[in-house]
Structure 1
Amino acid sequence: MGERGFEEIYEEYKQQGMSQAKAEMAEEIPSEAEKIVAVRRNAEDDLIAFKTESGRELDYITALEEAKAGNLRNIDVIHRYGRDIIRSEPDGLKENNLSELPSF
């Protein structure tokens, strides 16, 4: 294996990925799409509403429609469990994941 261990090599790989993701995010063309800055959860810990950087509060269905229209930044819509689901764009940045955002 040499002087470097598996853990060290993997950590270096993750750091490079995070650096690259941040660089790519900085290069993105500015758009009118809003960023989600906070979330609301129900008693089962499901996301039920979203707050945007402009202060708009969106219920799940409205946010889903906005995401499909490309009006929400860093959000993907996937089809699972027989329905469309909102999720964070897998960009390698933990801090912008929906699960990491504060509650409102």
Structure 2
Amino acid sequence: MTERETFVAVQRNGDGDLTSFQTSSGRVLNYTEAVQAVHNGEIAGVNTFKGKNGGTYIRGDADGDPSNNLDNLPTFH
């Protein structure tokens, strides 16, 4: 089995919301693509959940390590 990718960097919009993700293999995924990759089991360390507004969101697995939270990842351009 191929080793799953991880998210290593993010892009944010003007409101600070995550909009794109860079993976450990260098792929750049927009939010919709990232949600699909998580659903497909391609990305390790994250999961998706349905928000109160019905949208699907990505969050890091609760592992007690704040350094790998999505909000703490570096940004890329």
* TM-score (norm: length of structure 1): 0.69
Match in the other structure for 1:61: 32
Flag as ranges the 4+ runs of structure 1 deviating above 6 A. Answer: none
Match in the other structure for 2:69: 97
C-alpha distance in 2 between matches for 1:100 and 1:31:
26
Displacement of 1:31 in angstroms is 5.3
Number of corresponding residues? 75
Deviation readout 1:63-82 (Å, 9 max, x if unpaired): 00000111111011001121
Structure 1: tracts of 5 or more residues without a match? 1-29
Which structure: greater helix fraction? 1
Structure 2: tracts of 5 or more residues without a match? none
Displacement of 1:83 in angstroms is 1.3
Alignment of 1:1-104 (within 5 A): 32-80=3-51, 81-104=53-76
Identity over aligned pairs, percent: 39
Match in the other structure for 1:4: none
More relative contact order in 1 or in 2 (CA 8 Å, sep 6+)? 2
- Root mean square deviation, CA, Å: 1.3
Higher Cα Rg, which structure: 1
* TM-score (norm: length of structure 2): 0.91
